[in-house]
Every structure is written in C-alpha cells, then in structure tokens.
Chains A and B, each alone.
Chain A
Amino acid sequence: MAVTRDDVEHIARLARLALSDAELPQLTEQLNGILGHMDVLQRVDTRAVLPAAGVGDAGMRLRADDGPPTPLARGRASFAPETRDGFFIVPRLATHENASADDAGGADE
C-alpha cells in the first residue's frame, strides 16, 4: 500500500496542514518508510479478538452532566489570540456571494 504524493497532499488538507512543494517528496518517502514497518501486522490473525480501543474492560464511569465546575484562574483574553465581549474571534467565514466548500473548511471529508 504505497503512499503517493497525492495521498500526502490529501491527508494534509484533512489535517489542516499546509505543506510546501519542497516538503512533499521527503514526507512521502518517510511515511512509506514508516508504514512499510506496519505491514507485518497484516499477517496477524485477529479474528478471535475484539479490537481494543483502550485498556479497561469496565468502560468509562458516567456522571451527571452538571459539573464539577472548573473555574478559570484568568480570563479568555489572557490566553486567546483574539476575543471580544468574552467571545473568541475568528477570521470571517465565506459570505453567500462567495461561498466555497473550502472556506467553511469542513466539506471535503
């Protein structure tokens, strides 16, 4: 299952990473190198086991969705790139006139 340069460009878009043309060949080669070592897993028979997403068999404990409170020691403005009236400010989304799947940033999955 060789990874192509197009694959790397595709997953970079999914991961919201901009890669330069100079980085692509090396990353493609490195990913192929790493994934080559993973092929050994294909030979293992795992039909008899349930895939393990975690280590516990008990699952997570649930609690009422009402706390506990985790008050912040300092306000959002002290750590956020941009805030106004307690809200996080983000760059303007596409308007109806120039809407594109790209600007919304979530339509290519």
Chain B
Amino acid sequence: MTAVADAFRRMSEVRAGAEGLNIVLSSDERAALNEERESASRAAGAPARPTLAGVPVAVKDNIATLSLATSCGSRILEGYVSPYEATAIAKLRAAGAIVVAKTNCDEFAMGSSTEHSAYGPAKNPVDPRLVPGGSSGGSAAVVAAGITRMALGSETGGSVRQPAAFCGVVGVKPTYGRVSRFGLVAFASSLDQIGTFGATVDDAALALETIAGVDLLDATTADEPVPHYGDSRTERLDGVVIGKPREYFPDSLDPRVRALCDRSLDHLRALGAQVRDISMPHTDLAIPVYYIIAPAEASSNLARFDGVRYGLRIEGDGLRGMYEATRSKGFGAEVVRRILLGTYVLSAGYYDAYYKQAQGVRALIAKDFRDAYASGITAMFTPTTPTPAFAIGAKSADPYEMYLSDIFTVTANLAGVPAMSVPIGRVDNLPIGGQILAKHFDEPAMFRVAYALERALGAEARS
C-alpha cells in the first residue's frame, strides 16, 4: 500500500470527517492517488529522488490549494476553490509531497480551540471530548491521529504551537519572513506565518526546510539562506545556554506542568547545556497588545470579503446593503467580534490610546527578546501552554478566557522570533508541550535543542 493510500485508510479508520473527529474539511482520494503516481514517475526520471517524494501532507484550510477548496473555516468562502496556489504548497509539491486533506480550523484562524469553525468544532484524537487547540487544530489532530506525519498550519499568536501541545505532536512557528505568506489568507499580516507540524522534530524540520525561503510574491520574506535543519541533530548540548524566563513560570502555574518542564530542563543540563534564570519583564502585557494589534490588522484584511470578487454574496438594499448582508451572514460570531474590536481601536479618538500604545508596548516586548539574547542566551525553554487541552465548550462563554490560552505563545509572534512546541510528558494522561524559542533566523539552534530533548526524553515524552 502506498503512503497516500495508507493516509486515506487511516482517515476513514479514525473517522476524520464531519461525522467523526471533524478534523478534515475536504479531501479527494482519487486525485491524490493520481498525483502520487505522477510524482512517482517524475521521481523515477529525476537524477536525485525529491526529498518528499510521495509523502502525504495535510494543509490548514486557510492556505490556498488549486484542487481542494480553501474555505478558511468560514461560510463566506464555502466551496471557494482558489485560482492560484500558495508558494508553500508549490514548494511542497515540487519536492514530491501530495496534499491529501484540507484541515478544519477556527474561522480565518481566529481562535484557540477550533470551535469557531463554521463547519463545527474539531475533536482531539487523544480524547474526542476535548478541543484539539487552535486555530490549526485540524492539522495538529491529523498528525496526532497518524493520518500524515507532516502538516501545515498558520500562526498569528500560537495557532501551531498551542494545538501541537494539546495533541502531543511537534509544532513549529518559524521566524517572521522565513516562509512566504503568498496564498496564506491574511489575518494579521505583521504576525502571520505559515508553520509546520510533525510527528517528530525531524518531520517538522524537513517540512519547514522545504517551504522556507525568499519569494518575490511576498516582499516580507527574508533573503536568508535556508539551512539543512537535519544538520542540527545532535546528542550533546555543550556550550548551549538555555534561558528560563521566570514570567513563563508564574506561581499560579499547575505544579504538574512545572514538574514536566523541570524534568526537561534536567535532561538539557545532563546533555551539557547551561540553564540560566532570566526575566522578560513585559510578558504579561503580550495578550492585551496582541488582542489590539491582531484584530486591528484583521479588520483591514477582512474588508476584502464583500461579496464582489469571490465567495458568498447576499443581495441587500443597494451596494451597502449587499456588503452588510454578505458580511453579517458570512462571518461567524468570533470574526464579527474581532472586526468590531479592530475597527474600534483604529477609529478616530481611540487610535492613539489603543493601537499606537499597543505598538509601543510591542516594541518593548521585542526588546525583552533582544536583551535576553544579547546577554548570551542561545535559546529559551518555557511551557507552551499553562494547561493541557480543555473540554469542548469549556471556554465559550467569556472570549477573554479563551484568549488567555495563548499566554505563552503570543510573544514570539509579536517579536517575530522562531519558536516550537515539543511533547514533554502528560498530565492526567493528556499531552503537555514544552516551548523552545531562539533568535531571529536561528532555527538551527532551536532545532538543535529540540532534537536533543526529543532523544533524551524518549518514551517519557508520552508519559
């Protein structure tokens, strides 16, 4: 059985569709098998076997693909098939990979649980009563369920790392500018970045290496060489200095999560790393800053969904009536809330007090990172989330309560640094993630720590 056929067998075995886990929104087995055959014949004629020849990958539904729909988990783009594909997808396909599924997500990536999808909540394969995290919950769950070993998600405030932690897989948010955003439906352009999921560190690293690099179609991509991340695989961490920022280990942190972090830090020390207590004084301001800047940018980006060029149109009274009817019927409650919030903080009289002030504090958060790395830190280690996955519906009543699940992840997006989550153990038999952060474009250092930790933890990562 081929890898693609096996992915589809597994998809039906775990009931990945709407009738089951609801983690896959669309897939086309016949087209995928055809593409696999074509990829195999191309590989046969090529001088070197493409790196991902015949490897099935799953892709979050806000990344444009040519054959499968790109709905962004929204009614406003129901059934929309993009006339172009994302650069990341073109690169994956050029490397021989086959897109086997588009995965469920919070509508326009706005959420932390994949409950805010117009197509119903996704369920965590570890325990279907729980959320898989979000907003890239479907992609994390597809890897956790063993359907694919690699998947793409997108990050604006933790939307790859948090679901990776909740589902017990590896999730990477690269440096801002590392991966082209062309074809990623924009949410908050100064924060958005495509990220990768892997069953192992190696899978996530290889996927990132494949999609990274400068792109003429995204002027914010950096013209930095893309290293071979597999070269970071190591057994020793001599000379590596790991910062342990005290603000990520508050007194209120669940002692069992703290104990798992301590166990990981002990492993890192045993491998030769030095662990140093550091302070990132503006950390507690990250959530308020993020929930001003991200909705502000979203309110502008989502103005394009107006019933004119693509997607849903609902007729109303004149042009304005059509705009309002389309957008009010097409967007779900969380998206409406964030558009209103973003419009408010950008509106006359509030711009300086909210948006401009948030940008100032964002600069201070970025400075925390610069200062920490200038002091000789190679990487940092923190919990990815304060808790394991929560029950579906548990945080639906108060939007801000949901926002707090990103408390340890949003800082990396605000500062633009790379960060990843690796499984470090379980609490109440539910996966807990440890977060590794590094400086801009130092993914090699981040992967070095991740490879070493994964190897040192071994089976402990699942216990």
* Residue positions of A touching B, CB distance < 8 A: 1, 3, 7-8, 10-12, 14-19, 27, 30-31, 33-35, 37-38, 40-42, 44, 46, 49-56, 60-63, 68, 70-76, 78-82, 88, 90-94, 102-105
- Closest-CB distance, A24 to chain B (whole angstroms): 11
B339 touches A15 (CB 8 A): yes
By secondary structure, the B interface counts as: helix
CA distance A100 to B172 in the complex (A): 51
A74 touches B83 (CB 8 A): yes
A73 touches B319 (CB 8 A): no
With contact pairs A16-B324, A78-B81 given, residues A105 and B319 touching in the complex (Cβ less than 8 Å) = yes
CA distance A82 to B319 in the complex (A): 14
B249 contacts chain A at the CB level, 8 A cutoff: no
Q: Which of B93-101, B306-314, B429-437 contacts A (4 or more CB under 8 A)?
A: B306-314
B347 touches A14 (CB 8 A): yes
With contact pairs A38-B292, A72-B83 given, residues A91 and B309 touching in the complex (Cβ less than 8 Å) = no
**Neighbouring B residues of A70 by C-beta, 8 Å:** 84, 217
**Neighbouring A residues of B291 by C-beta, 8 Å:** 34, 37-38
- Considering only residues 292-341 of chain B, those with a C-beta below 8 Å from chain A are 292, 299, 303, 306-313, 315-316, 318-325, 327-328, 331, 336-337, 339-341
B283 contacts chain A at the CB level, 8 A cutoff: no
A105 touches B323 (CB 8 A): yes
Q: In chain B, what residue has the closest Cβ to A40?
A: B288
- Closest-CB distance, A10 to chain B (whole angstroms): 8
Q: In chain B, what residue has the closest Cβ to A34?
A: B400
New A-B contacts (14) at CB < 8 Å, excluding given A18-B316, A41-B285: A15-B343, A27-B340, A34-B400, A41-B354, A52-B362, A55-B414, A56-B222, A60-B219, A68-B216, A81-B310, A90-B308, A93-B319, A103-B319, A105-B320
| Listed A/B pairs (11) with beta-carbon separation below 8 Å | A16-B306, A19-B336, A40-B288, A41-B289, A41-B357, A44-B361, A52-B359, A61-B223, A63-B219, A79-B310, A81-B313
